[in-house]
Structure 1
Amino acid sequence: MKKILLVLALTLSLFLVACNNEKPLEALDVTIVSESYVYDTLDVDVLVVLEGLEEKDLVEIANAVASKIYMQYSNEIHDTNVTLTIRLYSTQTAVDESNADYGVVTYEINQSFDKPGLAPGTFEN
């Protein structure tokens, strides 16, 4: 009986592994156009040349950029409370006109001594 259950479990696990239908990962066309750090504000403009993005996709892109920027400036920030603002643009024209048509995500860095580091962002469209 144990052998039959073992064979069935192995067969089922092989079947489930074979059914993996993941799409291959694709590189995103995301460019940090500008970044400015002045004492307690860090402003970043990001050009995202992709269409059909949902809010969750834009927040995920902004989170990746925020993490990169946070690591880049962590030695300069130390324990200072900093507001990180990431503006997301769909075209270079939108960047030139300062029209963040994909939205703005704002993060707080080092909110307090109890909450150091990068806090979750708030998305505004």
Structure 2
Amino acid sequence: MTPDIRMTLQRLAKVGSLSTRHVFTFRGKPIQRISRSFCTTLKDAGIVDFRFHDLRHCASTNLRRSGVDTATAMKIVGHKSEKMWKRYNAIEERDLVQAALKVQKYLQENTPGTLDPKTESL
């Protein structure tokens, strides 16, 4: 649990917004079937073409993009194999651009006599 989440839960408990030990409830009782609540929420929000499992894809991709190591990220999302981890990670154009920029920066910092494309011409 992150410090921000802990602080938010402590604040909710102080103002009486947490009447049970469960964070997500329906009519004061723990949610038994998250899929039903999820579908209802999507419908109410007007969101289409989104599945509960898409959250796992988002989490995996965001963990990777934020630099969390693979073993820790796999533990968080519950993947037992690297094959499954790779399946859930979306590599998009922006990921490729970021990789190219990292290589460019590395080469500029580690290659003697390299021209700076911003200040020098060929």
Shorter-chain TM range is under 0.3
> TM-score, normalized by length of structure 1?
0.26
Structure with more of its chain in helix, by fraction: 2
Higher relative contact order (CA 8 A, sep 6+): 1
More strand per residue: 1 or 2?
1
